[in-house]
Structure 1
Amino acid sequence: MCGRFSLDKSTDELISEYVATGGDFRNWRPGWNIAPTQTIPVLLETAKGEAETLRRLEPARWSLTPTWSKTLTTKFPTFNARSEGITQKATWKGPVKTHRAIIPASGYYEWQTDPATKKKTPFYIHPADGELMNLAGLYSWWKDTTKAEDEPGLWTLTATILTSDAVEPLSGIHDRNPVPLPREWVDDWLNPEIEGDQKFVDDAVHAAVLIAEALDIRQVRPLRGNGPELVEPVDSGA
């Protein structure tokens, strides 16, 4: 799973990195302890009618709400989506087709549980070269039908991060990991003209394996606050 991640880039840096048009990020700042339901930058591509497809970096609520949901908060957690059998799930099968996104991340956290003591030890997992991770995701626009058509907050962009079975050596920490796409996969994953199906998702997961296997893993202190000190390594005996 991926229940916390960090992103230490400004939105201007992300817009430049991905050659995208930027949305309204006045209330967003880089963070090192980003949690579900918080606002995150999401990269997507859309086209209305005959308009040219546009790549945009938009603020989204991290927990996907399907269009048919009556409430923004869902009954079950939706900040992660299992890639296996994803097209058979009502929440995900629509977005998989044309509403795919990239969630930029500097790294993410997982907790290793000691089976004897149940103690949870946090680890920070990130590219050793400092490059951004392009996490495969999905998005959905949710409409609040209790609001008037001209009322602010009528539409909320929501998003989720795909996960797969953990690869070595990550499986020693947790049995799931997010799907970090190679840069050459980003264009196809975002392309709304490519209709996504299970094979497309499976191919993306397969392409992500080499990226996931090469990630740096470091033990860190318990997550408290939201500063850069959270990703600093600690000795395993500390």
Structure 2
Amino acid sequence: MCGRTGLCLDKKQLRCACSYKDKQSNTFVKPDYLDEHNNGKEYTPSCNIAPTDVTPVMISSSKYNNYARTRRVLKPMMWGIIPPWHKGDYKNHNLSTNNCLIENVRHSKLYNPILMSGGRCIIIAEGFYEWQTTKQTKSKQPYYIYMKQDSNKISNHETWSNDFSKEEGWKGIKLLHMAGLYHAWHENNIVIYSYSVITMESNKTLSWLHHRMPAILDSEEQIDAWLDIDNVNVDMALAYLKPIKILEWHPVSTLVNNARNKSADCNKKIRLEIAKTTQKSLTAWFTSKRKSNDDSEQEAKKRKQ
């Protein structure tokens, strides 16, 4: 399951963060950023990206040789694939396409044709959110999950070095590279690129939190293979997708529950003890209030008698 992500880098920083080593020049190359289409919707950096928002996605440039100068390109796309057969308002296809189950992708009427036609992509994020239901209160506690960092603190942008050079590449925040599928939907003169995140069964790293997790690529070999739609066939590419172990996480405020909240407070670490104490205080207050109301009703009945 993957229902929210975070990405606060701007376009310029993102190109540096997604740089890759060119084998011929032995230097790091920044992928081109192709910013057309999508019915006027653009990528806006946010700590709380929700389905239908537009985010940068990495794809092979083999389909865009007339526009791209680099082997990989970044293209903003809407989260949630619009089915190719859909007609009319793109918002009303009534299918849940935010995530794609890896177990079903080869048998899916929607996803398999996209996969077979080279619609492999990588969704770029700093982290994603997942919710855990606690046994005590049945409430859902959100967590922010991200790659293990060095000196950068994921929820404190002031600690991010974000340095880049052609010789050494990106030295900033470590990003998540989530495998996905994308499609370009056409309706009259409107073209909208959209994507789905591939998910799989969680391993021991995250199964305590949720039984599903995104398919995250954590090596250049995996990234190259998934994007190489010309030389790596579908079954071989799928075989590269494995549950990742090198992840970190921390609890965050329920502020993230509302998709309209986009601020940096969404991924700030909180202390669960404080959250529980606050909840107990509220529960005690309401209990006291109810008891007070009950006592008042009993006194009123006694007066009537």
CA distance in structure 2 between the aligned counterparts of 1:22 and 1:36, rounded to whole angstroms: 21
Q: CA deviation at 1:35?
A: 0.1
Q: 2:249 aligns with which of 193, 217, 220?
A: 217
What's the secondary structure of 2:14's corresponding residue?
Answer: helix
Partner of residue 23, structure 1: 34
Which of 1 and 2 has greater Rg? Answer: 2
Q: Within 5 A, what are the aligned runs for 1:79-228?
A: 79-97=98-116, 98-115=118-135, 117-129=137-149, 130-144=173-187, 147=188, 151=189, 154-184=190-220, 185-194=222-231, 196-198=233-235, 200-201=237-238, 203-206=239-242, 209=243, 212-222=244-254, 223=256, 224=258, 225-228=261-264
Partner residue, 2:22: none
Distance, in Å, in 2 between the alignment partners of 1:29 and 1:39 is 7
Q: CA deviation at 1:115?
A: 4.4
Higher percent of residues as strand: 1
Distance 1:194 1:21 in 2: 21
What is the total number of aligned residue pairs between the two structures?
226
- Which structure shows the higher helix fraction? 2
In structure 2, the CA distance between the partners of 1:21 and 1:165, relative to structure 1 (3 Å rule), is same
Q: Encode CA deviations 1:62-88: one digit per residue, 9 max, x unaligned.
A: 001232222423322101101113111
- Does the Cα contact within 8 Å between 1:86 and 1:198 map onto a contact in 2? no
For 2:2 and 2:106, how far apart are their aligned partners in 1?
A: 20
**Structure 1 length-normalised TM:** 0.86
Closer/same/farther in 2, CA of residues 53 and 87 from structure 1, 3 Å limit = farther
TM-score (ref. length: structure 2):
0.68
- Residue 114 (structure 1) shift: 2.4
2:207 partner SS: helix
Change over 3 Å in CA distance of 1:205–1:54 after alignment to 2: closer
Aligned to 2:11: 11
Q: Which runs of 5+ in 2 are unaligned?
A: 20-29, 150-172, 275-305
Q: Check conservation: 2:226, 2:232, Cα contact below 8 A.
A: no
Q: Provide closer, same or farther for how the CA distance between residues 162 and 32 of structure 1 changes in structure 2, counting only shifts above 3 A.
A: same
Fraction of identical pairs, as percent: 27
The whole-number CA distance in structure 2 between the counterparts of 1:158 and 1:125 is 23
Q: Does 1:66 align with 2:83?
A: yes
CA contact (8 A) 2:56 2:123 kept: yes
1:57 aligns with 2:74: yes
Q: Which residue of 1 aligns with 2:268?
A: 232
**C-alpha root-mean-square deviation of aligned residues, in Å?**
2.2
Q: Is the 8 A contact 2:44 2:55 kept in 1?
A: no
